[in-house]
Amino acid sequence: MTVSYLRIGDILLQQRLLNEALASYRAGLAIAERLAANDPRNINWLRDVAIWHDRVARVLEEQEHYAEALESYRKSLAMTERVAKADPANAVWQRDLALAYSRLGDLLVARSLLKEALDAFRASLELTERLAGRDASNMSLQRDVAVLYGRIALVLRSQKDLAQALANDRKALAIFERLCAANPTDTVLQRDVLVSHNNIGDALVGLGKADEAMTHYRAALGIAERLAASDQENVQWQLDLASAHLHLAVMNDDRINRLRIAAEILRKLKAAGKLTAQQEALLVAVEAMIAQSGAG
């Protein structure tokens, strides 16, 4: 029966029927908790409780009930820790634990609880690196290691620790580039490399190393141009191209021309109804910069 509630809840979540999805997940959680209480030594029931708390947390996060979502994520993590401790050799359970830490970390970042987020991401990284070391051919695990280095760097940048942020971003880039070289047609990995170059550039600017930052911004632009040219209907890739030009414009690299290119990309996306309110505000800001330069 709990499986039915899970499937129904997942379908409702996909349909954005959040209240209904939450009700289904909570019904499944109630059953799982009763089963676990009746058989406390049954690790599988305990794992089910953790999964249900995680599902509840995801919906609450979508509903912007962040305090309740944090509570549910923490309950899921506590259950998952007990499961993983029961069998440290079980790779699936250790993976569950790594993901539980990571999801908690993401919400903690969103709530500006940076110290706790950093601890969560580092715990996830330690587990994921261990799993990736046991399975070097698993590209998903290898990528997750890089992603976690990037998450840690994000928190460190927010804490103004740019030197350590840079060190973690460089580790992320090295892994992404290695994976991309082995999978040259994988556009997800190509974009991972692009984002890492931009992050490294941002850290270098903050550290006063503008020339080195330019090298990374230009590398990001090269990737953005290739991706955007390969699929002009991909909104994210068009936005990445505009962003790449803006990064270089801010560094006074062919400033006016790059501002115009970025503005034109954003105008086309706006005309197609593809921009968020925040992105439309960016377009207004770029147009203002062009006007202020006297080159409008």
Phi, psi of 67 (to 5 degrees): -65, -45
CA separation for the pair 100, 94 (Å, rounded): 10
Q: What is the per-residue pLDDT across 229-253, written as a single tens digit (0 to 9) for each? A: 999 999 999 999 999 999 999 999 9
Asked whether the predicted pLDDT for residue 168 surpasses 90, the reply is: yes
29-38 in b/e form (b: 16+ CB < 10 A) is bebbbebbee
Which one, of 14, 97, 85, lies nearest residue 54 by Cα? 97
pLDDT band at 71 (very low <50, low <70, confident <90, very high): very high
Asked whether the predicted pLDDT for residue 183 surpasses 90, the reply is: yes
Instruction: Say what the pLDDT of residue 6 is.
Output: 83
Supply the mean pLDDT for the chain: 95
CA distances from 231 to 141, 204, 213 (A): 28, 31, 27
Provide the 10 A C-beta neighbour count for residue 87: 12
Instruction: Say what the pLDDT of residue 209 is.
Output: 97
139 Cβ neighbours under 8 A, 6+ residues apart = 179, 182, 183
The pair of structure tokens assigned to 147 is 């992603």
19 Cβ neighbours under 8 A, 6+ residues apart = none
Which one, of 264, 273, 269, lies nearest residue 245 by Cα? 264
Q: What is the pTM of this model?
A: 0.91
Element (H, E) at 216: helix 210-230
Kindly report which listed range (31-40, 119-128, 236-245) carries the lowest average pLDDT score.
31-40
pLDDT band at 296 (very low <50, low <70, confident <90, very high): low
> Burial level of 141, CB count in 10 A (0-12/13-18/19+)?
buried
pLDDT band at 224 (very low <50, low <70, confident <90, very high): very high
Q: Give CA angle at 130 (172, 75), nearest 5°.
A: 95
User: Please, where are the H alpha helices in 39-161?
Assistant: 43-62, 66-86, 91-110, 114-134, 139-158
Q: Are 266 and 282 in contact (CB under 8 A)?
A: yes
27 Cβ neighbours under 8 A, 6+ residues apart = 5
CA distances from 213 to 186, 208, 286 (A): 25, 9, 21
Q: Are 24 and 9 in contact (CB under 8 A)?
A: yes
CA distances from 114 to 51, 111, 163, 200, 276 (A): 25, 8, 17, 20, 27
Q: Are 55 and 6 in contact (CB under 8 A)?
A: yes
Instruction: Say what the pLDDT of residue 7 is.
Output: 87
Asked whether the predicted pLDDT for residue 5 surpasses 90, the reply is: no
